[in-house]
Amino acid sequence: HRLQKVETHAEVDPASDHRTIGTAQSLFTTHTSSPGAPFFQPDGTHIFNKLTAFLRAQYPAFGFCEVLTPTMYKQSLWEQSGHWANYKDDMFMVTGSSSHKPEAAPVEFSDGWMQPKKKFIDVREPEEFGLKPMNCPGHCLLFQSQRRSYRDLPIRYADFSPLHRNEISGALSGLTRVRRFHQDDGHIFCRPSQVKNEISKSLDFVRLVYQTLGLEDYALVLSTRPERDYIGTLDEWNRAEDQLKEALTASGKLWRTNVGDGAFYGPKIDVIVRDSDGKSHQTATIQLDFQLPKRFMLGYEAPAPDLEAKGETKLDPISRQKMGSVTPVMIHRAVLGSLERFMAILLEHHKGQLPFWLSPRQVIILTVTDHVPVKQHAKKLKDTLSNTAGDSMPKQIHHPTYIVDVDDSGDSISQKIVRARKKKYNLVCVVGARNFVGEQMEGNSATLDVNVTAQPNQRKTWDAIEKIKPGS
Amino acid sequence: HRLQKVETHAEVDPASDHRTIGTAQSLFTTHTSSPGAPFFQPDGTHIFNKLTAFLRAQYPAFGFCEVLTPTMYKQSLWEQSGHWANYKDDMFMVTGSSSHKPEAAPVEFSDGWMQPKKKFIDVREPEEFGLKPMNCPGHCLLFQSQRRSYRDLPIRYADFSPLHRNEISGALSGLTRVRRFHQDDGHIFCRPSQVKNEISKSLDFVRLVYQTLGLEDYALVLSTRPERDYIGTLDEWNRAEDQLKEALTASGKLWRTNVGDGAFYGPKIDVIVRDSDGKSHQTATIQLDFQLPKRFMLGYEAPAPDLEAKGETKLDPISRQKMGSVTPVMIHRAVLGSLERFMAILLEHHKGQLPFWLSPRQVIILTVTDHVPVKQHAKKLKDTLSNTAGDSMPKQIHHPTYIVDVDDSGDSISQKIVRARKKKYNLVCVVGARNFVGEQMEGNSATLDVNVTAQPNQRKTWDAIEKIKPGS
Ligand SMILES: [Zn+2]
Ligand SMILES: [Zn+2]
């Protein structure tokens, strides 16, 4: 659950640097009032929202439930999680600016949870808060907030919260060296016997997403137990590493082992993706954690707790009768990792020409003449495709909408086509008095073919759009 | 752009208090590690996400573009915006916890914007940041980040960022007295001549959303210029108030005036909604702001700037030739206001039984027997409705999915129906060996009618779902 740096193995062509693309396409910008916190302009936000919508659409099939958790927690929570000891310098601290004096301490209960209907006598908090650099402690608290049985597991939380890390401002740049970012963060709480299946499902998720994004060229790396100073028993590690290896082999992907390179609290699998420039990026991570569930004293009720903890589920009737609390295995997993950094990778991988479904410039309609009926037809087409016609009925949440612009200026059609190409529209439609044309610009294609047909051909546009996968 | 308090005009029935509903339905919870920052559990997050998805679906038709802006800004920005002078006690302050020493100041440019490709020599910031209590200053910076012409206006930004306000912790409770919350925040930057149209569109947006949410019973209140200490000219105020009154009259809704009750920086319209208990809540706000654009020195290029500033757009050819910079009018607007508070209102208004499209418990499938084919049919139906079948192909972003549970326990069907009713499922389907039944539980209906048909009738379920509006 640490943010990894981009590994660069090749020189960057300045024109395909994501910062150049971001500026040229008005995707994002920065300001000295908040160094390292990108401002996403409308087109950049569109890409961000498409990525999260795509992941959200996959979550039900993979059993993930999205949750919303606080931005900051008291210092005492970070002490409990261990972040205070190891991560303090990278965290931002939050205090109330008020001069109000404390009148009384807040009422707390033994397990730390507030009863919602109690009245509190309290004032502005004197205690310091830490701005969260990761979601794990919040998800542990959510797990802890209800009684859990072995029947409830696995519980899988997903969270797109903004995260903050106090990187030195000299290193801040674009979307890759930031202080504020979002992860497609997820935490799985499972039984020891479920580790292999959860790892397999996580690797399936990675494959599905990376195939969709056109980044099939990736490798898997297993980092195993360090020789010393690890927590947990040798047995726990061996069982977990065996399950990880089985899942890796079953994935059919090439994988290798970095012996002894795991964190002290558990083994992990990293995904190393290679982009179109040959650069490698460490993106997805699947990290087992034997430590955090213990620090938060997480538990679930299961029969034969001693056997359960060893991953044994075939129980005889007598041992089944004894119920007890077992510590769940926690798995941190991110499929894209930092969404900001992944957006940078995608922009560079696709040389700024994102695939249709992710693109903030999906369709442009060019008018051949400036006759009123032609302009009206262009406007009508835009309203249909972008679902912006009328406003007396609510738009359906699941109605597909496209980003459509119109160029009905007085310029010549060839000037308009040059401009549309430069602006990287995926689909360029030309509307004339009796002509309608739709053709698609794909991938890194440098040429724009405009088929001129004799009749209006709205169907063709729809067909072009319909065949694009996924969604949008 | 201030957070308004709930106005309570009636006693709350404890059973319909949103905190009781939230606990009973596992929607959200709180923890002492972050007082006033609700933890949304999966079902509460589902409601939150449906509300934002619904608003997002409306944004294109109303010309709003979503943006993503930082969580914190340097103190100097809050001084510029005026929040430091007026709002300091309600803000949280952020500092790096590091002991690193500054080596050099960051390189800044005259307009405050960083050049993306420059190298900075800098270290961890010694300056304090304020955690944002509202999005307005960030949106002003975004407006300022590019050159704007009168042709670009109106520019409308929408933002769902989490916001923080340092409320005293004794007052914190549920979703209505919080420190962390989200708004369906929006800012419109427009020409003085566009104010009336923007207000009209905002009132249309309000009507559309409130009708969809079953909250048609609302009133509009115009707050006008205070007698003294206002900024701007009397002319500016009169022109603006006239446009607001015209838009209010054109809305066809009842409205009244609170004379002199406007903020010193501009007039506003409040929406006061009455819920099913007769309680009134101030929710939506449309607030004109003559001040913030001046504090940020915002401008756009227009012909005949003196006339443009007065809202005059009919220009003769000579005055049209002189271009110059004009200060845009800024409109703060929120349709729901705090999403957390609105969720509380909806939960109480609907007595915990949310309409189908918002509900986190949309469908439950009950098995009449525990025969394997019946269980399999239930499972298949669930996979179809919830779009969870298979995982080798990505799910489409716009494919409708439903929240579907299955009760295939060994309990009797009447026990299962009682349990389903108690859990507030909107649609209860009963699957038997040769029977399939779907019927809908609507609104506050206390009775559950189960039609038993002779044949499996999957079509009926789909029909019931299809007819529910909007979306989902
Ligand atoms: Zn984590
Ligand atoms: Zn505002």
For position A391, what pLDDT does the model report? 61
Report, as residue numbers or ranges, the catalytic residues of B.
136, 165, 183, 185, 187, 268, 332
CB contact at 8 A, A360 and A44: yes
Indicate the residue of A34, A98, A400 with minimum beta-carbon distance to B89: A98
Which residue out of A148, A268, A349, A424 is catalytically annotated? A268
**Cβ contact (<8 Å) for A169 and B89?**
no
- Measure in Å the smallest separation between the Cα of A422 and chain B Cα atoms: 19
How far is A289 from A300, CA to CA, in rounded Å?
Answer: 16
Question: Which residues hold their Cβ within 5 A of ligand 1, which is an ion?
Answer: A 1, 136, 332
Q: Which CB contacts under 8 angstroms, 24+ apart, belong to B96-100?
A: B96/A92, B96/A93, B96/A166, B96/B124, B96/B125, B97/A88, B97/A89, B97/A91, B97/A92, B97/A93, B97/A130, B97/A166, B98/A89, B98/A90, B98/A166, B98/B124, B99/A89, B100/A89, B100/A168, B100/B124
For position B89, what pLDDT does the model report? 87
CA of A2 to the centre of ligand 1 (A): 8
- Measure in Å the smallest separation between the Cα of B19 and chain A Cα atoms: 7
CA of B260 to the centre of ligand 2 (A): 21
Confidence of residue B127 (pLDDT cuts 50, 70, 90): confident
Give the residue from chain A lying closest to B466, CA to CA: A396
Cα four-point dihedral sign B422, B423, B424, B427: negative
CA of A1 to the centre of ligand 1 (A): 4
Give the residue from chain A lying closest to B472, CA to CA: A397
What are the angstrom distances between the C-alpha of A181 and each of A8, A77, B14? 20, 22, 40
For position A11, what pLDDT does the model report? 56
CA of A129 to the centre of ligand 1 (A): 19
Q: Which ligand is nearest to the CA of A183?
A: 1
The chain-wide mean pLDDT, for chain B, equals 83
Residue B117's CB is within 10 A of a number of other CB atoms, namely 12
- Measure in Å the smallest separation between the Cα of A124 and chain B Cα atoms: 5
How far is A58 from B401, CA to CA, in rounded Å?
Answer: 11
Cα four-point dihedral sign A244, A245, A247, A248: positive
Indicate the residue of A129, A212, A390 with minimum beta-carbon distance to B394: A212
Q: Is residue B265 scored above 70 in pLDDT?
A: yes
β-pairing, A363-367 with A404-407?
parallel
**Cβ contact (<8 Å) for B162 and A162?**
yes
> Among A41-50, B274-283, B398-407, which range has the highest average pLDDT?
A41-50
> Among A324-333, B418-427, B431-440, which range has the highest average pLDDT?
A324-333
Q: Is residue B433 scored above 70 in pLDDT?
A: no
Indicate the residue of A31, A106, A208 with minimum beta-carbon distance to B35: A106
Q: Which ligand is nearest to the CA of B2?
A: 2
**Which stretches in chain A have pLDDT values below 70?**
1-13, 97-126, 391, 433-472
β-pairing, A180-190 with A436-440?
unpaired
Contacts of B131 in chain A (CB under 8 A): 71-72, 94
Amino acid at B366: L
Q: How many CA atoms lie within 13 A of B141 on its CB side?
A: 29
**Cβ contact (<8 Å) for B122 and A400?**
no
CA dihedral B131, A54, A426, B471 (to 10 degrees): -90
**Cβ contact (<8 Å) for B74 and A32?**
yes
How far is B4 from A9, CA to CA, in rounded Å?
Answer: 53
CB contact at 8 A, B44 and B91: no
- What b/e string do you get for A236-252 counting C-beta neighbours within 10 Å, with b at 16 or more? bbebbbebbbebbeebe
Inter-chain contacts counted by CB atoms under 8 A, chains A and B: 360
Told to judge if A140 belongs to the known catalytic residues of this protein, a careful annotator would answer: no
Take residue A233 and report the two structure tokens written for it: 């028993």
Q: How many CA atoms lie within 13 A of B310 on its CB side?
A: 8
pLDDT digits (tens, 9 = 90+) for B305-330: 999 999 998 888 888 889 999 999 99
Told to judge if A353 belongs to the known catalytic residues of this protein, a careful annotator would answer: no
Confidence of residue B378 (pLDDT cuts 50, 70, 90): confident
Which residue out of A25, A80, A139, A183 is catalytically annotated? A183
Take residue A102 and report the two structure tokens written for it: 């404390």
Choice between A306 and B435, residue whose per-residue pLDDT is larger: A306
Q: Is residue B10 scored above 80 in pLDDT?
A: no
For position A398, what pLDDT does the model report? 78
- What b/e string do you get for A332-344 counting C-beta neighbours within 10 Å, with b at 16 or more? bbbbbbbbbbbbb
In what helix (H) or strand (E) does residue B331 lie, and over which residues does it extend?
strand B329-338
- Measure in Å the smallest separation between the Cα of B398 and chain A Cα atoms: 5
Told to judge if A187 belongs to the known catalytic residues of this protein, a careful annotator would answer: yes
**Cβ contact (<8 Å) for A71 and B394?**
no
CA of B187 to the centre of ligand 2 (A): 6
Which residue out of A18, A25, A132, A136 is catalytically annotated? A136
Best A28, A90, A97, A119 member to test B by mutation, with max B CBs in 10 Å, is A97
**Cβ contact (<8 Å) for A170 and B116?**
no
Best B141, B395, B409 member to test A by mutation, with max A CBs in 10 Å, is B395
Q: Which ligand is nearest to the CA of A136?
A: 1
How far is B176 from A347, CA to CA, in rounded Å?
Answer: 41
Contacts of B322 (CB under 8 A, 6+ apart): B303, B304, B305
Of how many residues is chain A composed? 472
Q: What percent of chain B has pLDDT above 70?
A: 82
- Measure in Å the smallest separation between the Cα of B439 and chain A Cα atoms: 23
CB contact at 8 A, B347 and B191: no
What are the angstrom distances between the C-alpha of A366 and each of A375, A420, A471? 9, 9, 25
CB contact at 8 A, A429 and A365: yes
**Entry pTM:** 0.88
CB contact at 8 A, B157 and B187: yes
Q: What is the DSSP string of B167-199?
A: --GGG-BTTTB-SEEEEEEEEEEE-GGGHHHHH
> What average pLDDT score do residues B21-44 get?
96
> What average pLDDT score do residues B277-300 get?
94
Contacts of A76 in chain B (CB under 8 A): 33
pLDDT digits (tens, 9 = 90+) for B162-195: 999 998 877 888 999 999 999 999 999 999 999 9
Q: Which ligand is nearest to the CA of B184?
A: 2
For position A319, what pLDDT does the model report? 86
**Cβ contact (<8 Å) for B113 and A31?**
yes
β-pairing, B427-431 with B363-367?
parallel
Indicate the residue of B67, B162, B388 with minimum beta-carbon distance to A61: B388
- Measure in Å the smallest separation between the Cα of B236 and chain A Cα atoms: 30
